[in-house]
Amino acid sequence: MSRPVTSRKPRASSQLRINAILAAARSLLAEQGVNSLSVYSVAERAQMPPSSVYHFFASVPAILEALTGEIHAAFRACLQQPIAHGELRDWRDLSRLIEERMLAIYAADPAARQLILAQHGLTEVTQADRLHDIELGQLMQALFNRHFQLPALPEEVDVFALAMELGDRVYARSVQQHGLITPRMAEEGMRVFDVYLALYLPPLLPKRNQ
């Protein structure tokens, strides 16, 4: 899997250039999609020579992998936002709240839709997305466990990560057909997420005292 060339934490000036490169790539993704992206187009949009882009990123997939990390950071942040425990009637309320937050990220970020949901065939990006999904699934399981007493779950299956990936398959179909996640397909994706979780979670889970 490709990585940015720098391995140590970049200096402030270098971080500014990295940010400019990623911002340029993000805007090009929103306008033209993944397939039209090149180091030269990113450099032109960022108003810097291509050599400066190559200094930090060895290839377009490396740029996109970094962007994927940024997008998943937004997903992680939405899992860390406050949740009104007293308003949760059952685990499906928590499920819907999380999915609605993630759908809001997709709606506001065309780059997220292009990288996570569109068909681009970039193995590096797909692998990075799956690794991030495992991390998100673990965070999601911990969040559910914070509010409800979860039953024992299989160790060999990442239940929450798989539920999220299955929901994303529905959202991806909508993006491929319409360029966005329609309200109808958003609802279908949330239903798929809940139906898969319901294979492992009983209808009523005891709420934890908070």
List the chain domain ranges: 12-61, 66-198
- pLDDT computed for residue 147 by the predictor: 97
Two tokens at 18? 């990295």
**Cα 138 to Cα 155: distance, rounded to the nearest angstrom:** 11
DSSP string, 118-129: S----HHHHHHH
Two tokens at 70? 């940024």
Could you tell me the CATH superfamily of domain 12-61?
A: Homeodomain-like (1.10.10.60)
- pLDDT computed for residue 31 by the predictor: 87
- pLDDT computed for residue 1 by the predictor: 43
**Cα 173 to Cα 110: distance, rounded to the nearest angstrom:** 15
- pLDDT computed for residue 35 by the predictor: 80
- pLDDT computed for residue 166 by the predictor: 95
- pLDDT computed for residue 5 by the predictor: 46
Side chain identity, residue 210: Q
- pLDDT computed for residue 9 by the predictor: 61
Assign 5 to helix, strand or coil: coil
- pLDDT computed for residue 7 by the predictor: 47
Q: Which of 197, 164, 188, 165 is nearest to 90 (CA)?
A: 197
Backbone angles phi, psi at 65, to 5 degrees: -65, -40
Which residues, given as ranges, of the chain have pLDDT below 70? 1-10, 121
- pLDDT computed for residue 92 by the predictor: 97
Whole-prediction pTM = 0.85
- pLDDT computed for residue 73 by the predictor: 93
- pLDDT computed for residue 10 by the predictor: 64
**Cα 163 to Cα 169: distance, rounded to the nearest angstrom:** 10
- pLDDT computed for residue 6 by the predictor: 46
